[in-house]
């Protein structure tokens, strides 16, 4: 089992480039089975979640070829409609394939999906959406079995603007007869990118980025070549790496607009943030200042996927700050690990009170989920002494060569 070993206390300095967003690529991979023509996706990170999603596509009968970091997918000969249980349990986004398979083949079956253990994560909204499209959904022996023989467009109101449910319902509706309307839809940039990708294939989707999405069903989709949006969570993690090490970094090839919720907070926490068209500069000499309140919300609010990293930053910032995690119920597993490093944090239900300490110290800690694991790396970068992080498979799900990237800007981090 691999570990990350970090000798903390080095100010990071230099440039880091961001690659395509994991959550965008996963949705596009799921959408790729909607067409029998070739799908080309550029600038794809070879992270575990993407590789596992590709294994699922191959198990269905798609042919997937990598050319450098471009993926070419041919789904003209799909022969299976069931998502294998072993992969479904590994990766929650396997669920999106149900929408695509339903739309194109009118049937699908899957085990209940896995993913990061950060909360209850039900899939009721996805299934409510399918049912509103006149799909028969049965839940049997840990499996979901869908029959869409009589499926057609419909109206769906989401009780919560779930990203996954919005994307899954969009995918399911693309090739159905009639019009589908999703209200209280998620507005995340990845939903907008999915709309752009689908429309580039010939779909008729509008409204993504607002709370109402409308889909006019089409009979067939064509080929597509597409570059996904940059990963706003990776960009945000890099920015916090610059801040927490009192460093100076230029984060290149990101979309600053997607990061406004974070950069707005960092403005008051570090000495300088400058936003350019595709780059963000951060400099953090002097004291880091606590942000009084950070509440996670659906986009354009503060992303839950940056909560753990922000909490790590707060542990070494001057003053006290409150973090409220509104999206997932049990997304504070990093707190116990940060406490081993000397952090002063009290958690009650969805609220964490973080009192800044002068220094963290190195310790042996465990990554319990993807973003919580990234938070431990950030803490290790600024801690006095050596930090050893185990179970880094969680981090590898979403960060491409994280240790190499950090090393390139001066971090003393090794994978053993
Ligand atoms: C997606 C992202 C994940 C991010 C999350 C919130 C992907 C692959 N993953 O996850 O990185 O942390 O959005 O921004 O894009 N819920 C229900 N019923 C459902 C579906 C969701 O109650 O049927 C609840 C969830 O339990 C959670 C909230 O809605 O409390 C938000 O979840 P959702 O937006 O669906 O997150 P994911 O799509 O799983």
Q: How many Cβ atoms are within 10 Å of 268's Cβ, its own excluded?
A: 11
Which residue's CA is minimally distant from atom 29 of ligand 1?
A: 162
Cα 163 to ligand 1 centre (Å): 6
In the prediction, which pLDDT does 116 show? 58
What pLDDT score was predicted for residue 118?
54
The predicted pLDDT at position 24 comes to 98
* Predicted pLDDT of residue 377: 98
Is 116 one of the annotated active-site residues of the chain?
Answer: yes
Is the Cα torsion angle 237, 192, 154, 171 positive or negative in sign? Answer: negative
Question: Residue 260 is inside which H or E element, if any?
Answer: helix 260-269
CA of 189 to the centre of ligand 1 (A): 14
- Structure-token pair, residue 366: 């465990």
Options 116, 146, 254, 382, the catalytic residue: 116
Residue 160 Cβ contacting ligand 1 at under 6 Å = yes
Looking at residue 142, what is its pLDDT?
Answer: 81
Q: Which residues contact 244 (CB under 8 A, 6 or more apart)?
A: 284, 288, 312, 313, 316, 378, 379, 381, 382
Any idea what DSSP says for residue 303? -
Tell me which residue of 323, 22, 10 sits closest to 189, measured CA to CA.
Answer: 22
Residues of the chain short of pLDDT 70, as ranges, are 114-120
Beta bridge partner(s), residue 147: 107, 136
pLDDT score, position 415 = 97
pLDDT recorded at residue 89: 77
**Closest ligand 1 atom number to CA of residue 188:** 14
* pTM beyond cutoff 0.95: yes
Place of tokens 């080309």: 40
- CA 162 to centroid of ligand 1, rounded, Å: 5
């Amino acid at each position: 089992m691999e570990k990350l070993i970090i000798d903390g206390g080095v100010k990071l300095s230099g440039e880091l480039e961001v690659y395509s967003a994991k959550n965008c690529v996963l949705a596009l991979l799921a959408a790729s089975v909607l067409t029998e023509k070739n799908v080309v996706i550029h600038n794809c990170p070879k992270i575990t979640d993407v590789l596992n999603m590709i294994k699922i596509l191959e198990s269905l009968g798609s042919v997937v070829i990598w050319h450098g970091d471009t993926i070419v997918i041919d789904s003209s000969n799909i022969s299976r409609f069931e998502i294998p249980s072993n992969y479904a349990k590994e990766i929650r986004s396997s669920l999106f394939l149900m929408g695509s398979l339903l739309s194109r083949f009118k049937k699908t079956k899957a085990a209940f999906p896995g993913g990061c253990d950060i909360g209850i994560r039900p899939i009721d909204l996805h299934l409510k959406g399918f049912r509103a499209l006149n799909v028969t959904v049965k839940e049997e022996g840990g499996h979901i079995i869908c029959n869409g023989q009589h499926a057609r467009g419909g109206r769906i109101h989401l009780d919560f603007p779930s990203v996954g449910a919005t994307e899954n319902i969009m995918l399911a509706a693309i090739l159905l007869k009639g019009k589908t309307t999703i209200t209280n839809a998620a507005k995340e940039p990845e939903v907008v990118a999915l709309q752009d990708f689908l429309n580039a294939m010939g779909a008729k989707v509008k409204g993504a980025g607002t709370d109402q999405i409308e889909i006019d069903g089409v009979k067939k989709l064509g080929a597509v070549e597409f570059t996904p949006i940059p990963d706003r969570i990776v960009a945000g993690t890099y920015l916090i790496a610059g801040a927490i090490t009192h460093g100076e970094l230029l984060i290149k090839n990101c979309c600053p607009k997607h990061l406004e919720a974070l950069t707005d907070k960092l403005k008051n926490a570090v000495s300088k943030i400058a936003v350019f068209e595709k780059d963000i500069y951060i400099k953090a000499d002097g004291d880091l200042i606590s942000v009084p309140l950070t509440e996670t919300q659906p986009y354009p609010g503060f992303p839950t996927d940056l909560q753990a990293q922000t909490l790590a930053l707060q542990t070494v910032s001057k003053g006290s700050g409150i973090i409220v995690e509104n999206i997932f119920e049990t997304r504070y597993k990093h707190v116990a690990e940060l406490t081993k490093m000397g952090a002063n944090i009290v958690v009650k239900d969805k609220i964490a009170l973080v009192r800044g300490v002068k220094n963290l110290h190195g310790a042996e800690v465990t990554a319990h989920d993807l973003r919580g694991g990234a938070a431990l790396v950030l803490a290790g970068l600024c801690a006095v002494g050596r930090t050893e992080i185990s179970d880094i498979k969680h981090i590898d799900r979403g960060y491409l060569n994280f240790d190499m990237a950090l090393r390139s800007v001066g971090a003393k981090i090794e994978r053993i």
